[in-house]
Amino acid sequence: MKPVRLLLFPLLLAASNLRSQEAETTNLPPDPFGELAAVEKAPDFAMVVDRTRGTFTLEAKDGTYVPGSHFGNWHWNMKLDRWGNYYAGLIYDSVRPKLGVQLKIGADGILKSYAPRTNSLSNEKPLILGALYLEKGEHPVMLLTGDQSNVPAFQVKGIHFRPAPESEPLGQSIDGTIHLEAKTATTYAEEMRYEPKPEKNCLGYWKHKEDWAEWIFDVSDPGDFDLTLHYGCGPGNEGSKVAVLLNDRTLEFSVEDTGGFQKWRELKLGKVTLNTKGENRLAIVPLDKKGAAVMDLQKVLLDPVQ
């Protein structure tokens, strides 16, 4: 009888475990996103920045609306004091599934899209139609909609413009370096902008300390980097205080005379650490301005520490 008892105990234990497992199971399907790792996010700047700087809106009340049997036509005359690349966005309310819209600025700038239905939760930001390069001066602006657009079912509120980079940052190179060129910066500015001439290729016209620049770039291999700025400053304009914001770290320096605004000098700001894989941010923010302009800035380099 003893061998029977020895065999019976393991069978009873297995049955108990099976009942316990059955009690824990449900008829709910497994969560398809349950095993995804949390997306890393770099910390925000320690300093408050103004991302409304350089933005503006052509409001519906300042435009002219011409209805048609199957379309709506809006007209504005826009005066631009600063050339550069801009994102153009439509501000509107709609209960219709979607409506075709076309924005034309000047003779050549045309953006087309569909405007979906809006609601109180998703109607806070403009619908970005695309990016356009706009010259300084006056521009006729026309918005054509595929149906009436000044009625309760679809109401245009305005066209919103905000600065856009001239080119997208390349991200981290295969050798680990990160090159942030002037043309890849978003310039939140009233006058400072990217200057494309070959002898410049920089952020210039930095005549207001409230104007600032930001880069959003991708890091594939986090670690320690040497941070270097390439800038120029003409005689008599030195002395401005500038902050470099790298995620939540802030570094400061004083602009020196380099012999000319396009006489580039390397300024080594020391070692910094990028801990986050993915999207990171760097900004150049003047703290004060001593001369006619803060400086001309050609590029920012992040070289991995060997």
| Structure-token pair, residue 78 | 């826009």
Nearest-angstrom CA–CA distance, 39 and 37: 6
What is the set of domains in the chain, with CATH numbers? 56-163 (2.60.120.260), 178-304 (2.60.120.260)
- Calculate the CA 276 to chain-centre distance: 17
What pLDDT is recorded for position 1? 45
CA angle in degrees (0–180, nearest 5) for 184-303-207: 40
What pLDDT is recorded for position 132? 93
What pLDDT is recorded for position 146? 84
The parts of the chain modelled with pLDDT lower than 50 are: 1-13, 18, 20, 22-23
Q: Are strands 223-233 and 72-80 parallel, antiparallel or unpaired?
A: unpaired
Nearest-angstrom CA–CA distance, 155 and 153: 7
What pLDDT is recorded for position 72? 85
| CA-CA-CA-CA torsion sign (215, 219, 223, 228) | negative
Beta bridge partner(s), residue 214? 186, 283
CB 197 within 8 A of CB 181: no
What pLDDT is recorded for position 97? 87
pTM of the model: 0.83
What pLDDT is recorded for position 28? 59
What pLDDT is recorded for position 149? 81
